[in-house]
Amino acid sequence: MPLLTQGGQAVVAEAFITGEVRRTLDERFRLTLTSEFAQAVTDDEGRTILAKERFGCVSLWQAKDWQRRLEDGLGLIRQKIATGRLEQRWGDVQRLGRLLSTRYESVQLANRSRLLIPETFRDFLGVPANQDVVLVGAVVCVEIWNPYAWLEAQKVEMPEFEPLFRGLSD
């Protein structure tokens, strides 16, 4: 299993998620994940974390992995606040709080693979009902993309694939 580093600790990644597939949002903003994608991001009860990433993209994460990453980071921020190290940055702290308040939500997949996209995430994704989305395995999560945003991201990022791959695999 691949190893990742989180908060200075080595953590075993339980999945190495890759692949790309198109799906259609139905009239109620539901979509069905592939069984591989659903299994990679859900716990035994079908729970997962839905997070806003960049405009036109939301992602699904294993709840325990997301929670561990969040707790590690917030623990450090709490320590800095307690010791007065962020007193000159209250505006940034408040901005982080606002973004954190709306960034993610715990969701339950129906029938182990069907996701209902909550209303506040629909606008961020920018895809109307009965339209396609693109599901992309991003190694540690599954991303749900507005097809136009995905194409634009590929235009920018694909030329950087080889140097990125070499840099991460060296």
Cβ partners under 8 Å of residue 36, min gap 6:
17, 19
SS3 content of the chain, % helix, strand, coil (to 5): 45, 30, 25
Strand, coil or helix: what is 11? strand
Q: What is the pLDDT of residue 76?
A: 87
Residue 164 has pLDDT above 90, yes or no: no
10 contacts 114 by C-beta, under 8 angstroms = no
pTM of the prediction? 0.82
Angle at 24 between CA 120 and CA 147, to 5 degrees: 75
CATH code linked to domain 15-64+104-169: 3.40.1550.20
Q: What is the pLDDT of residues 89-102, one digit of tens each?
A: 888 888 878 877 78
Q: Work out the mean pLDDT of the chain and round it to a whole number.
A: 87
* Averaged pLDDT for residues 66-85: 86
- pLDDT tens, 9-64? 333 355 689 999 999 999 999 999 999 999 999 998 889 999 998 999 999 999 99
- pLDDT for residue 163 is more than 50: yes
Percent of the chain with pLDDT over 70: 91
pLDDT of the residue at 14: 58
The reported pLDDT for the residue numbered 132 is: 98
Distances (CA, A) of 15 to 52, 56, 61, 149, 164: 21, 24, 11, 25, 20
Orientation angle between helical segments 63-82 and 90-103, nearest 10 degrees:
160
